[in-house]
Amino acid sequence: MDKFVWDSEKYGIGHELIDHHHHVLMDMVNTVIDLSHQESPSKSDYIQVLMKVSDYSHYHFKAEEGLLATIDYPEFDRQHDEHIAFSEKASLLVTSCDLSQLKKTAHFLKQSLEEHILVEDMKFRPYLSGK
Ligand SMILES: [Fe+2]
Ligand SMILES: [Fe+2]
């Protein structure tokens, strides 16, 4: 599986802090992808990175929702629901921490983050002008 390569043309939504968060999350997901390529990945590395993804995505969603509230974003509820769904799934991944699911998890995280940025977050880009 290919890792994320940050590209502000492709992934930038035009808000410095949010773009920074997304970049950090990509690096974390890349760590999961790296682990999934290892022959015998360590369980503690896996738990650590999953916890980081879970904690940081929680922090990111809070910041993002704070921003969306200040711009009266009309699809706020949809964003919130998407964030909750991801957070629940991330918590489950941490609690199960099943190494046999590592490749599937890497795939899921990459796909979810890509969708989060390119589909959902891109929609609020036009509302950010001047923010
Ligand atoms: Fe979002
Ligand atoms: Fe986001």
At 130, the pLDDT band (50, 70, 90 cuts) reads: low
pLDDT in tens, 66-110: 999 999 999 999 999 999 999 999 999 999 999 999 999 999 999
Distance 35 CA to ligand 1 centre (A): 26
Distance 60 CA to ligand 2 centre (A): 7
- Under DSSP, the state recorded for 119 is I
Domain ranges of the chain: 14-35+43-126
Distance 38 CA to ligand 1 centre (A): 31
Distance 18 CA to ligand 2 centre (A): 6
Distance 40 CA to ligand 1 centre (A): 34
- Provide the whole-model pTM: 0.95
pLDDT in tens, 74-83: 999 999 999 9
Place of tokens 């799934």: 89
1 within 8 A of 109, measured Cβ to Cβ: no
Distance 79 CA to ligand 1 centre (A): 5
Distance 120 CA to ligand 2 centre (A): 8
Six token digits for residue 116: 């989060």
Asked if pLDDT for residue 131 goes beyond 80, the answer is: no
Distance 77 CA to ligand 2 centre (A): 14
pLDDT in tens, 20-31: 999 999 999 999
In this structure, which ligand is nearest to the CA of 59? 2
Q: Please, where are the H alpha helices in 1-128?
A: 8-11, 16-37, 43-70, 76-96, 102-115
Average pLDDT over residues 46-56: 97
Q: Which CATH code for domain 14-35+43-126?
A: 1.20.120.50
